[in-house]
Amino acid sequence: MIRYVPIAEERYGPDVGQYRTYGICVLNEEGKTVMILSDISMDFEMVSELADRCTKGELAPEHLCDVVLNTI
């Protein structure tokens, strides 16, 4: 089963300085990283819930970008 897990990242933006943002890491059946989608949101709860929905819905990794864009 593919799993989607939230990840924390530290970023820098010239207008905002240092900030924490969250992305999603996609893990295959062996627990190896298939892809990472970075800097989705600074809202951990939103990213975490989205990752859970993707896992439970058995989303194919190639559709993750579309799901994120539709969510935000």
pLDDT confidence tier of residue 16, bands split at 50, 70 and 90: confident
Residue 68 lies in a domain: no
Residue 14 lies in a domain: yes
CA–CA gap between residue 5 and residue 11 (Å, rounded): 19
Asked whether the beta carbons of 27 and 2 are under 8 A apart, the reply is yes
Residue 67 lies in a domain: no
Asked whether the beta carbons of 61 and 1 are under 8 A apart, the reply is no
- The answer to whether residue 5 scores a pLDDT higher than 90 is yes
Q: What is the pTM of this model?
A: 0.88
Contacts of 63 (CB under 8 A, 6+ apart): none
pLDDT digits (tens, 9 = 90+) for 21-62: 999 999 999 999 999 999 999 999 999 999 999 999 999 999
pLDDT confidence tier of residue 72, bands split at 50, 70 and 90: confident
Residue 70 lies in a domain: no
Q: What's the structural domain count of the chain?
A: 1
* Helix or strand run (H / E) with residue 18: strand 17-27
